[in-house]
Amino acid sequence: MHVITRQEGVLNVVARTFKKQQWESMYFTGEGWIIKTDEAVYNKLVALGATPNRKQIDDIIGNTTWTEFLCDDCHKDADALVALRGGKKVIKVCKRCLVQALKLINKELK
């Protein structure tokens, strides 16, 4: 069990995205970029450097899909999540859901 912050999540997404091989597998074919703007977006993301913030990434790609930090229970955006490992699967839960879980178990044990 460990805590993951939004900034760590953003940096992990960025680190994976900047790997040329992965980017090419998503947006590049043997004949070139799938959409001409894909190369420009890639270049803008690379220009942000190693520690971009959420707004910078959202502005460049035009949405929040890369920087959303969603709880696996309530599906709401959070600033930090606790990662719980269950076998090979990792479940990420926000503070609000963890507090609700504690209330449920405490009520049951009374």
Its pTM surpasses 0.75:
no
**Beta strands 28-29; 89-93: pairing state:** unpaired
Q: What pLDDT does 19 receive?
A: 52
Which residues of the chain, if any, have pLDDT below 50? Answer: none
Q: What pLDDT does 20 receive?
A: 53
